[in-house]
Structure 1
Amino acid sequence: MTTTTYDTLGATYARTRQPDPRIAAQIHAALGNVTDVINVGAGTGSYEPPQTALAVEPSQVMIAQRPPGSAPAVQGVAERLPLRDDAADAVMALLTVHHWTDLAAGIDELRRVARGRIVILTWDQQVFRERFWLVRDYLPEAAAFDDTRATPTDQLIDLLGGARQEPVRVPHDCVDGFGAAYWRRPEAYLDPQVRAGISLLAQTGEDTIAPGLARLADDLATGRWHTRHAELLALDTFDVGYRLLVADL
């Protein structure tokens, strides 16, 4: 992510982007029994395990929202990590690679700094487009924006030199307000504060997404949304395309 992007968009993150304990458990299991972890593109510190040694984040606005007692944080970018070779057992990068200006350089840096394991949380754009009703039915403009920045998971796996891939199913009551967190709570997307914490929507722009949001509001008011998506209302979790990549070096 760039400094300017999250200096603008990151002001509400501490309110709308709290770590979800179920997703945290999956991330921490993927990290394994490591001694120390570096969090790259760390934001406000969501999902950092207790053994986090350092967070690297480009935006001072995000760093300022890290809670008391968090791991120390330095301002920096993934493409030029201010760290020595083999600096930690593991490096994690969660919902950040799509913001990097040079993906290959960033992955090379993760490989340089990690002694044993890299964990990346990202998403499969094709699955996301097909399964997530918000971008498919109401906000294709936002999906088009994501098309320009999403990285195919196969490409990431190649850059990592191989990795296993785990689906991250989103709970219906997910407390971390990322893009598809409200898949069973559609009214949330009508809240400007919720949208401000979702880069997909915030960076597409309010004027661009306003017509689609108006259609969503109308479908909620008439009950059409609930009729069309009745099957979702029976689900506790949903695979919307989020993926955890785990690479052993």
Structure 2
Amino acid sequence: MATYDSIGGTYSSTRRPDPRIAARIHKALGDAATVINVGAGAGSYEPPQTVLAVEPSSVMIAQRPAGSARAMQASAESIPLADDSADAAMALLTVHHWTDLEAGIGELLRIARRRVVILTWDQVAFRRFWLVHDYLPEAATFDDTRAIAIDRLAALLGGARIETVPIPHDCTDGFGAAFWRRPDAYLDPQVRAGISMLAQTGEEVLRPGLARLSDDLSSGLWYERHADLLARGTLDAGYRLLVADL
């Protein structure tokens, strides 16, 4: 399986934090004065009170902007920090990459004094998203192998509040469903390179579905099928925040 050392090179250009999603995440962190970002990637959504980023990929660490929190190259499953190292720990769109989910969640609970915040997605809801339902079911099948059930995550956290994160139609963060009202974007190889489920499924596998999407956009069929989306400002594509108070 490809890793972020090989697929993460474009993240700083296609994965820019969306301010509306950032506001949801920062609100979930509450009044935490210190935050550790685990599986931090290039640093999206880190609040000003972030004191440390934990990230295994040197490629991702190299894309962190100047002035961002110090980064430690380490895996979520084994974080070389003392217990209760910060008020809060957060893990954003990362738990599906971990090799040992239980160990990673255990580390979040260990290093956080007061709160753990996780951003992930509900695979059952995401499978209804038009891109994977109509055109790229292979990508959904790939995600089936790594998606974490929301109730399982909540149980591992010892209970958690679950919040829906609606995706704005002009979302600036190019993750899987970000372009739900801008379908042409999925035909851009650079955009696909910044979406792990597409990058890791592989261009050869995706090619037939992308060709069908291109044809349907050219003919106008996509717009006929999804006319209801064109008037919407946000979409629930299955993204969820889990907030656990310790």
Task: State the TM-score bracket (shorter-chain normalisation).
Answer: over 0.9
Amino acid in the other structure paired with 2:25: I
What CA distance in whole angstroms lies between the structure 2 residues aligned with 1:195 and 1:86? Answer: 38
Amino acid in the other structure paired with 2:240: R
Q: For residue 82 of structure 1, report the CA deviation from its aligned partner.
A: 1.3
Q: Are residues 1:232 and 2:220 paired?
A: no
For 1:22, the equivalent position in structure 2 comes to 20
Deviations 1:4-55 (A, max 9, x none): 6000010000000000000000000000011100000000000000000000
Q: Which structure 2 segments of 5+ residues have no match?
A: none
Question: SS at the partner of 1:92?
Answer: strand
For 1:48, the equivalent position in structure 2 comes to 46
Question: SS at the partner of 2:3?
Answer: helix
What CA distance in whole angstroms lies between the structure 1 residues aligned with 2:180 and 2:48? Answer: 30
Q: Are residues 1:162 and 2:146 paired?
A: no
Counting aligned pairs with the same residue, the percent is: 73
For 2:144, the equivalent position in structure 1 comes to 147
Q: Are residues 1:189 and 2:186 paired?
A: yes
Q: Are residues 1:135 and 2:132 paired?
A: yes
For 1:61, the equivalent position in structure 2 comes to 59
Q: Are residues 1:210 and 2:207 paired?
A: yes
Question: SS at the partner of 1:244?
Answer: strand
What CA distance in whole angstroms lies between the structure 1 residues aligned with 2:32 and 2:152? Answer: 26
What CA distance in whole angstroms lies between the structure 2 residues aligned with 1:18 and 1:33? Answer: 24
What CA distance in whole angstroms lies between the structure 2 residues aligned with 1:127 and 1:6? Answer: 26
Q: For residue 180 of structure 1, report the CA deviation from its aligned partner.
A: 0.3
Question: SS at the partner of 1:27?
Answer: helix
What CA distance in whole angstroms lies between the structure 1 residues aligned with 2:81 and 2:141? Answer: 35
Amino acid in the other structure paired with 1:46: S
RMSD between aligned alpha carbons?
0.8
Question: SS at the partner of 1:11?
Answer: coil
Q: For residue 123 of structure 1, report the CA deviation from its aligned partner.
A: 0.2
Question: SS at the partner of 1:119?
Answer: strand
Question: SS at the partner of 1:118?
Answer: strand
For 2:4, the equivalent position in structure 1 comes to 6
What CA distance in whole angstroms lies between the structure 2 residues aligned with 1:82 and 1:12? Answer: 28
What CA distance in whole angstroms lies between the structure 2 residues aligned with 1:239 and 1:46? Answer: 21
Amino acid in the other structure paired with 2:4: Y
Q: For residue 215 of structure 1, report the CA deviation from its aligned partner.
A: 0.1
Amino acid in the other structure paired with 2:224: T
Question: Of 101, 104, 129, which aligns to 1:103?
Answer: 101
Moved over 3 A (4+): none
Q: Which structure 1 segments of 5+ residues have no match?
A: none
Q: For residue 95 of structure 1, report the CA deviation from its aligned partner.
A: 0.1
For 1:92, the equivalent position in structure 2 comes to 90
Q: For residue 69 of structure 1, report the CA deviation from its aligned partner.
A: 0.4
What CA distance in whole angstroms lies between the structure 2 residues aligned with 1:206 and 1:35? Answer: 43
What CA distance in whole angstroms lies between the structure 2 residues aligned with 1:209 and 1:147? Answer: 16
What CA distance in whole angstroms lies between the structure 2 residues aligned with 1:145 and 1:190? Answer: 19
For 2:176, the equivalent position in structure 1 comes to 179
Amino acid in the other structure paired with 2:38: V
For 1:71, the equivalent position in structure 2 comes to 69
What CA distance in whole angstroms lies between the structure 1 residues aligned with 2:240 and 2:188? Answer: 26
Tell me the TM-score normalised to structure 2 length. Answer: 0.99
Amino acid in the other structure paired with 1:229: H
- How many correspondences in the alignment? 246
Amino acid in the other structure paired with 2:46: E
What CA distance in whole angstroms lies between the structure 2 residues aligned with 1:9 and 1:177? Answer: 14
